[in-house]
Amino acid sequence: MKKCVVIYNPNSGKLTNRNDVKKIYKILENYDYETEIIYTEYKGHAKEITQKLKDVDLLLCAGGDGTLNEVISGNIERHKPILLGHIPLGSVNDVAHMYGMSSNTINNIAMILNGNIKNIDVCLINNNPFVYVACIGAFVDISYSTPRKLKEKYGKLAYIIYGIQQLKQNLQFYNIKYTVDGTKYEGKYSFIFITNSNRVGGVNNIYDDVKLDDNKFEVLMCDIKNKFDIIKAIHYLKRREMNDIPGFTYFKTDNIKIEFDEIPPSWCIDGDELKHDTKEFKIEINKDNNMLIPIKNIDKLFEQK
């Protein structure tokens, strides 16, 4: 039999009872996998487990987007990366929804096992991997600053509750210089989003031309000046192309260097905080990860058949 390891983050979501766990073992056995489930115990544990695994044919990440980030980060650092799959158990699950998964864990596993192996673009910011988003600006800390007790009690609604509480924040502007494909630019922006996804923060189809294997990521810089401008931007997003929204600078690239005039706050990457002590950031692409992707959205998300 082949060997499958499931890295399960019990803080991202709960397998409700022993029968659910038994079903996971059973369905993987039906696909000729001997299975081991390893529970994470602290932040960064999934990355450590991934780095140390031996003789594994398939590694399934059972958790949220942050847990997936840890697994992919560990996989990149392996001498021989493992084939991955993602079982969504978190609150938002942007990546899994983009892949076409639902809230049914057993169905999701079946979709993965019946999926296709795809090489995915993984972005690196100063060599720190992120799967789908790195962003900086007001309110982006909501994903990792929302109290866990609030998330456990209200689920996705917790982010909205906490976000309303944070509306008193003032927007901060960043003077930056950036280089894209050898050309230098500069400007003053309040938000920066670097993404490789058509879904961010639970909002679908932000971009309609995203491909996960095209060696490109999307960059969006905004000079939003006040909170009312945020509402206007959301209104425009529903009716205009990204390039046609006032105050938005949007492009696709495979590398960008960004320099702030002073050390900025933490970045948010895949819903977690990236602390740093630098003004300069280099974003590029890594191609070391292969994943089993459900066939549901493959034609939409990938260029290569």
CA dist., res. 192 & res. 173, Å (int): 10
* Cα–Cα distance measured from residue 52 to residue 71, given in angstroms and rounded to the nearest whole number: 11
Residue 118: half-sphere exposure toward Cβ, Cα within 13 Å = 27
Separation of alpha carbons 61 and 8, rounded Å: 6
Sheet strands (E) in the chain: 2-8, 33-39, 58-63, 84-88, 116-125, 128-130, 133-136, 174-180, 183-189, 191-195, 217-222, 248-253, 256-260, 267-269, 272-274, 280-293
> Measured over all CA atoms, what is the biggest interatomic distance in the chain, rounded to whole angstroms?
59
Give me the pLDDT at residue 271, please.
84
How much is the pLDDT for 242?
64
Q: How far apart are CA 196 and CA 211, in angstroms?
A: 8
Q: Which residues in the chain come in under a pLDDT of 70?
A: 13-19, 139, 141-169, 202-203, 227-244, 304-305
- What does the DSSP assignment read for 50-95? HHH--S-SEEEEEE-HHHHHHHHHHHHTSSSPPPEEEEE-SSS-HH
- Give the H or E element holding residue 233: helix 227-237
* DSSP structure class, residue 266: P
Question: What pLDDT score does 159 carry?
Answer: 47
CA 85 to chain centre: 14
State the pLDDT at residue 166: 53
Domain annotation for the chain: domains and CATH numbers: 2-121+288-299 (3.40.50.10330), 128-286 (2.60.200.40)
What pTM does this model have?
0.85
Residue 190 phi/psi, 5-degree rounding, is -100, -20
Residue 129, pLDDT score: 96
For the chain, count helices (H), then strands (E). Answer: 10, 16
